[in-house]
Structure 1
Amino acid sequence: MSSDDKQKVKQEIKKKLLRERQEEASIVRKIVMVCLLLLIIAFTVAGTSAYYYVKGGLEPIDETSEELINVHIPIGSTSTRIGTILEEHGLIKNASFFRYYIRYKNETGFQAGDYQLSKSMHMDEMIAALKEGTVYQEYAFSFTIPEGRWLESILNVISEKTNHTIEDLTEKVQDKDYLQSLINRYSILTDDILDERIRWPLEGYLFPSRYDFVEENPSIEAIIEAMLQRTEQVVGKYFEDLEESEYNIHEIMTLASIIEGEAQKTEDRYIISGVLYNRLNINMALQVDPTVAYAHGEHFSRTLYEHLEIDSPYNTYRYAGIPIGPINNPGEASIKAALQPQEHKYLYFYARSDGEVMYSETFQQHQQILSQYRN
């Protein structure tokens, strides 16, 4: 091969290599462009999704709603608690979003009190209303009943705040004629409360909340009926659930009181409710400690085997099914949980003193939990 031919071959090889490099570079550029385009699309989709998520969280639940919803914000409520209350009342979509949003905006100064809010309100409008607070009248006296208190404890609070004696209060809440008149006026009350074995006929129906009175000395009837009216308002929000339930209002309030006595956290109320329903469905005794304490009429730091021997219709270790009546006065969260039990397969639970609840499906698993944590 001549030198000229060799030179031509070299040039052809160089041209071929150059073309290959140009093609590779073109492919790389295309890949880079495609990757950049995909990233832009991903960021656009994420940004759009985030925008609509935030927009949806801030917008009203129902712009056309004209209903005013009564909301009570207890003294000392955290932003988490306020968000949960608003979500439970159907005023916002997500309590966690509410918490993060007010943290982002550095909103503080929320006021305790009773509010009338609407599903047509934007979240910023609710925040403004909750910061402004309610305009209270000058009340002669007020009292607050926490969730889960026994009726005799409520009577003691009323007696301390008024000039009504315990004797007068006790006589009134046990008066058969008065109770019958209440049954005739309040849909939440049925003839079940007149069972002679029930310790306090109105146990479970005096709603835990803050009560304010303009009169210096309102009658016992006015106080009791204000509490019954509050219970009726709360239960009324879950009318459809109650209509679909296999249990009547008295049984639901009894289950709610058991849930109130066992659960400290909102999520546990629904799981425990599911446990109670699972047991009832197979005719298994509920076996819950708060009913034993109520049967004895005293609170125990720990339920012992000797406590389980009491022969009482409230003792769920001795008698299967739902007890004859509520064992305390439950709050809205427990009432809702009693009507909306979580579906699962748990049959046992152990509530620790720190509020943690351990669940199990079998008796063997339950015994292992008891041996581990009780010791």
Structure 2
Amino acid sequence: MKKILLILAIILALLGTFLTVNLKSRMGELAKNTETALIEVPKGSSPAKVFQILKQNGIWSDDLAFRLTMKRLNPNLKAGWFEIPAGLTLPQVLAIIESGKVAVRRVTIPEGRASWEIPAYLKKAYPDFNENRWNKLVQDPKFARSLGVEANSLEGYLLPDTYPFPIDADEETILKHMVAANLKVRDEMEKRPGSMWKTLGSWHKVLTLASVVEEETGIPEERPLIAGVFHNRLRIGMPLGADPTVRFIFRNLTGPIYKSQLNSNSPYNTRKFKGLMPGPISNPGRKAIEAALFPATTDALYFVAKDDGSMTHFFSSNLADHNKYKDVAAKNRGE
């Protein structure tokens, strides 16, 4: 009897060794996908459901190896979209799903774009992007306030940056990410001493001025100086006189500005009315926001583009010099 038990014990030990070696061998096998696969693991998915997802996407089809690996590793699989590169082992595939690091789409939103210009960049990453829904949400005061924005629109609050948006993000999710990034900058700037925050009065007014600085600046180095000119004008009650504010009214982003447009009674017309507009005319980047809060010290009240290819401006403290520079700029244009 003892002999039989000993033999059985040896057989079981050998079988256990074989199964362990076999499992390790199977765990070391590579997944079948030859290129990066995108999978979705729905909330509440069981291990069996995850296996079916992997199998349907051509990643893993060995049911026994999957079940034994799950039993051995006991991973806490998460829900979401995941990118599974080619050439991974099953434990590596499961580690990606366990990490919860969902797949993203990287989208770059340039500085100074108005809200209605941004969908053009998002549509490249999200073919089903709904521009109408986007515009409605941007102009929805209730939605703005739900995101912590004390304004009737999200114009100006969509911080330009390169974002890793969730791969299944919708218009609302994207707006939430961009507004959160803007308010994070607000919180950072509020802590910095020596700013013009109190002079401007609110974050909304900071963004409003920053949006004009952004639109009037050809090169980043001039932003603080242009901001200084606008602060000087605000201080003495002189209209900002910024053409981009008129373009905003008519969504006339390029080409000539007509006399009838310059005579517009819109409160956004800074060629006609003093002070800041009711709100931003575009979405300024961090550098333009910094310039609005920390402008250069200058006595200049005027600036005009040199139009010599440098994208820089002539700055002057009086109208006579300003008119001379306008003549120089005209010659640079060949007029």
TM-score (norm 1): 0.56
Amino acid at match of 2:255: S
The counterpart of 1:368, out of the listed 305, 324, 327, is 324
After superposition, the Cα gap between the structure-2 partners of 1:283 and 1:303, relative to the gap in structure 1 and judged at 3 Å, is same
TM-score (norm 2): 0.63
Amino acid at match of 1:292: V
The aligned counterpart of 2:174 is: 223
Amino acid at match of 1:181: S
Aligned pairs, how many?
A: 225
The aligned counterpart of 2:135 is: 170
Matched, 1:325 2:272: no
| Corresponding residue SS for 1:276 | helix
The aligned counterpart of 1:235 is: 186
Query: Could you list the per-position Cα deviations for residues 172-217 of structure 1 after superposition, in whole angstroms to 9, with x for gaps in the alignment?
Result: 22333322312xxx3xx22xx22xxxxxx1111101111113x432
Query: Could you list the per-position Cα deviations for residues 208-263 of structure 1 after superposition, in whole angstroms to 9, with x for gaps in the alignment?
Result: 111113x4321322211111111122222211436544431111101101000011
Conservation of the 8 A alpha-carbon contact between 2:197 and 2:203 = no
**Pairs within 5 Å for 1:48-87:** none
Matched, 1:157 2:108: no
**Pairs within 5 Å for 1:229-268:** 229-239=180-190, 240=192, 241=195, 243-268=197-222
- For residues 360 and 172 of structure 1, what CA distance do their matches in structure 2 show? 42
| Corresponding residue SS for 2:314 | strand
**Pairs within 5 Å for 1:170-189:** 170-182=135-147, 186=148, 189=149
The aligned counterpart of 1:202 is: 154
Conservation of the 8 A alpha-carbon contact between 2:114 and 2:282 = yes
Aligned-pair CA distance for 1:295? 1.3
- For residues 285 and 260 of structure 1, what CA distance do their matches in structure 2 show? 17
- For residues 175 and 304 of structure 1, what CA distance do their matches in structure 2 show? 31
Amino acid at match of 1:360: S
Amino acid at match of 1:164: F
- For residues 203 and 315 of structure 2, what CA distance do their matches in structure 1 show? 27
Aligned residues with identical type, % of pairs: 31
- For residues 328 and 314 of structure 1, what CA distance do their matches in structure 2 show? 12
Report the structure number with the largest CA radius of gyration.
1
The aligned counterpart of 1:272 is: 226
After superposition, the Cα gap between the structure-2 partners of 1:230 and 1:242, relative to the gap in structure 1 and judged at 3 Å, is farther
- For residues 325 and 167 of structure 1, what CA distance do their matches in structure 2 show? 21
State the Cα RMSD in Å: 1.9
Aligned-pair CA distance for 1:306? 4.2
The aligned counterpart of 2:81 is: none
After superposition, the Cα gap between the structure-2 partners of 1:283 and 1:180, relative to the gap in structure 1 and judged at 3 Å, is same
After superposition, the Cα gap between the structure-2 partners of 1:243 and 1:153, relative to the gap in structure 1 and judged at 3 Å, is closer
- Decide which structure has greater helix share: 1
- For residues 289 and 324 of structure 1, what CA distance do their matches in structure 2 show? 16
Query: Could you list the per-position Cα deviations for residues 36-85 of structure 1 after superposition, in whole angstroms to 9, with x for gaps in the alignment?
Result: xxxxxxxxxxxxxxxxxxxxxxxxxxxxxxxxxxxxxxxxxxxxxxxxxx
Query: Unaligned stretches of 5+ in structure 1?
Result: 1-136, 195-200
